Amino acid sequence: MRIVVALGGNALLKRGEAMTAENQRANVRVAAEALAPLVAGNELLISHGNGPQVGLLALQADAFPLDVLGAQTEGMIGYMIEQELGNLLPYEQPLATLLTMVQVDPDDPAFQNPSKPIGPAYDEQEARKLASEKGWTVKPDGDRWRRVVPSPLPRHVFQLQPIQWLLEKGVVVICTGGGGIPTMYDEDGKLRGAEVVIDKDFASALLAKELDADLYVMATDADAVYLDWGTPQARPLGRVTYQDLKSHEFAAGSMRPKVLAACWFAQMTGRRAAIGSLADIDAMVAGSAGTQVGPAAGEVAELFGIPLA
Amino acid sequence: MRIVVALGGNALLKRGEAMTAENQRANVRVAAEALAPLVAGNELLISHGNGPQVGLLALQADAFPLDVLGAQTEGMIGYMIEQELGNLLPYEQPLATLLTMVQVDPDDPAFQNPSKPIGPAYDEQEARKLASEKGWTVKPDGDRWRRVVPSPLPRHVFQLQPIQWLLEKGVVVICTGGGGIPTMYDEDGKLRGAEVVIDKDFASALLAKELDADLYVMATDADAVYLDWGTPQARPLGRVTYQDLKSHEFAAGSMRPKVLAACWFAQMTGRRAAIGSLADIDAMVAGSAGTQVGPAAGEVAELFGIPLA
């Protein structure tokens, strides 16, 4: 199978951990241990988040724009993933980390409504102070506040052809980190950086679709998508169609983009997306753990032989 | 021809310029304009320095180790080169920037004698103060002082096979930035980061040799290698054999590693290396500008049909 695995931010840095190289590396090592068994017999693409990393880098006094920070974090995180995963694989297994640019549309309505939280959480007063000092937009995230930036939809992944060629040669490819380096065309038709963060679950879904992946897995810190999360009625979803999943409401936050990305991928490709814990990755690939999102029941039975709930 | 071009630090950030994204991008654009005409009809690999960038990032309070900073700068600089060069090429021309790890030997004598300057220049007193505060080694560089770190020889470039596959498909490949992400094997046979900076001219020479490049070009801010530089007798070297070039002394600094890398490449491969200004890149490729370093005269006449001085 050709599998795209999108690693959530917590696979790289747990909430509250300092962003040291050691902490990131320790988390990446755990992720690499979960991913290594998938390499034999599959074509594996790995993407990853970069929210905490970009957020902290963006705090610096002379911070680079978000496209450059995106490129820096693709370098930093991609390197750690490639090295740690490489240490668990046979020496002759090739791996490659490609910088990946993703195009957004300057007319995307997201530019009018910044919504993607980056960086640390603050209390309201501190957040409002920073907003006025630094020209940020800040919004509540749970009971804390965070800086938010526009998060336009990914329209195009630029390095698809080289990625495709490397996959065909059996290379494990790490790419589209942090949703890709955000870019857009200016009036002269030149590609430029965009001061946004692209949702990594959407960008990876686009990558998975464009590369004809058989399966798109989003690894997160929950073992499944839950209905009524945070209430006594909370219950995990197993196998669902995208139509069923779309009929539920999910609070904006980390799960909602995953649900939308899974539905989009299943609908566009007629293939399967899965959301769950990295610890269950083998079972998620097999279709027996996490929330498994497929197209309509009839189609799915045909496509991958698993009856849907 | 398969050509490796190593861009000097000044192609990315001129001495004294602030390390803003704008300044770097403006310099990268000039470099891209010089490189773009080489793409048609050649296989082009581009590497680059990262000395000023890594040096400045390493100044931060909670600075990452040098391998992680190397990975960050490969991301940042590689992105800018790929984007600016891509803007000058036909839309269908594929480009790819690969993170590149390079292996060093933990027993390399360089670990006993840190010699590679990174970051800004200080006056002596300031440099000694920083050295005692941060545990740095500092050394004179011209009439100023700079931090120095070990610079062991590159022993192996890890991503050669994917790079080779991409070149065969006609992809312009940007790789081995900053001499590669420095790594070495620990006692358990696991690859780890190394707290060093690998000379980019040596690493790119190794890359060029391993990939059977026909030509290895080092672009710098001088139009050639000069004998008696800084004296009234200063004179540029045109076509020389590596034996002749090796017979001269060059002060340690930016030109000496280039001379050694050129001699090494010419001797190991029987092919040509060139050192000169990016503005002369076409003529350097043609063999009519810069310092052209070849193997012994007889061999050279056979190999690329140019008589040597």
Q: What is the pLDDT of residues B53-72, one digit of tens each?
A: 887 888 776 789 999 999 99
Q: Tell me which residue in A18, A21, A101 faces B83 most closely, judged by beta carbons.
A: A101
Does the A10-41+51-113+150-197 domain belong in CATH 3.40.1160.10?
A: yes
State whether residue B233 sits within 8 Å of chain A by CB.
Answer: no
Catalytic annotation present for B209: no
Residue A127: pLDDT over 80: yes
Catalytic position from the list B8, B179, B180, B258: B258
Contact A68 B79 (CB under 8 A): yes
State whether residue A159 sits within 8 Å of chain B by CB.
Answer: yes
For residue B21, the chain A residues in CB contact (below 8 A) are: 64-65, 68, 193
- Residue B9 binned pLDDT confidence (cut-offs 50, 70, 90): confident
pLDDT at B61: 67
For residue B166, the chain A residues in CB contact (below 8 A) are: 162, 165-166
Query: CB neighbours of A212 closer than 8 A, spacing ≥ 6?
Result: A2, A269
A234-248 pLDDT, tens per residue? Answer: 899 999 998 888 888
Contact A71 B65 (CB under 8 A): no
Q: Tell me which residue in B78, B83, B183 faces A191 most closely, judged by beta carbons.
A: B83
Catalytic annotation present for B9: yes
Q: How many CB pairs under 8 A join A and B?
A: 128
> Is the model more confident about A103 or about A304?
A103
pLDDT at A308: 37
State whether residue B166 sits within 8 Å of chain A by CB.
Answer: yes
Catalytic annotation present for B200: yes
pLDDT at A301: 43
- For residue B299, give how far its alpha carbon lies from the nearest alpha carbon of chain A (Å): 36
Catalytic annotation present for A246: no
State whether residue B165 sits within 8 Å of chain A by CB.
Answer: yes
State whether residue B56 sits within 8 Å of chain A by CB.
Answer: no
Contact A166 B171 (CB under 8 A): no
Interface predicted TM-score (ipTM): 0.92
pLDDT at A299: 55
∠ CA A59-A63-A64, nearest 5°, is: 135
For residue A56, the chain B residue with the least C-alpha distance is B62
The percent of chain B in helix, strand and coil, each rounded to the nearest 5, is 40, 25, 35
Residue A29: pLDDT over 90: yes
Residue B306: pLDDT over 70: no
Give the range with max mean pLDDT: A42-56, B9-23, B37-51, B223-237. B37-51
- Mean pLDDT over A171-196 rounds to 97
Report the greatest alpha carbon distance in chain B. Answer: 57
For residue A97, the chain B residues in CB contact (below 8 A) are: 98-99
For residue A98, the chain B residues in CB contact (below 8 A) are: 96-99
A273-292 pLDDT, tens per residue? Answer: 999 999 999 999 999 999 99
Residue B14: pLDDT over 90: no
Q: Where are the domains of chain A?
A: 10-41+51-113+150-197, 214-309
pLDDT at B307: 40
> Is the model more confident about B286 or about B254?
B286
> Is the model more confident about A296 or about B88?
B88
State whether residue A181 sits within 8 Å of chain B by CB.
Answer: yes
Q: Tell me which residue in A71, A83, A169 faces B75 most closely, judged by beta carbons.
A: A71
Q: What percent of chain B has pLDDT over 90?
A: 73
Please state which of the ranges A101-115, A132-146, B78-92 shows the lowest mean pLDDT.
A132-146
Q: What percent of chain A has pLDDT over 90?
A: 73
- For residue A115, give how far its alpha carbon lies from the nearest alpha carbon of chain B (Å): 25
Catalytic annotation present for A190: no
Contact A183 B73 (CB under 8 A): no
Across chain B, mean pLDDT equals 91
3-class SS of residue B44: strand
Q: Are B280 and B271 in contact (CB under 8 A)?
A: no
Contact B75 A80 (CB under 8 A): no
This prediction has a pTM of 0.93
- Mean pLDDT over A122-145 rounds to 92
Q: Are B224 and B274 in contact (CB under 8 A)?
A: no
Contact A94 B159 (CB under 8 A): yes
Q: Do the domains B10-41+51-113+150-197 and B214-309 sit in the same CATH topology, yes or no?
A: yes
The C-alpha atoms of residue A8 and residue A27 are separated, in whole angstroms, by: 11
- Mean pLDDT over B284-309 rounds to 68
pLDDT at A307: 40
Residues of A (192-221) whose Cβ lies below 8 Å from B: 192-193
Residue A170: pLDDT over 50: yes
State whether residue A46 sits within 8 Å of chain B by CB.
Answer: no
As a CATH number, domain B214-309 is 3.40.1160.10
**Three-class DSSP labels, chain A:** CEEEEEECHHHCCCCCCCCCHHHHHHHHHHHHHHHHHHHCCCEEEEEECCHHHHHHHCCCCCCCCHHHHHHHHHHHHHHHHHHHHHCCCCCCCCEEEECCEEECCCCCHHHHCCCEEEEEEECHHHHHHHHHHHCCEEEEECCEEEEEECCCCCCEECCHHHHHHHHHCCCEEECCHHHCEEEEECCCCCEEECCCCCCHHHHHHHHHHHCCCCEEEEEECCCCCEECCCCCCCEECCEEEHHHHHCCCCCCCCHHHHHHHHHHHHHHHCCEEEEEEHHHHHHHHHCCCCEEEECCHHHHHHHHCCCCC
Residue B168: pLDDT over 70: yes
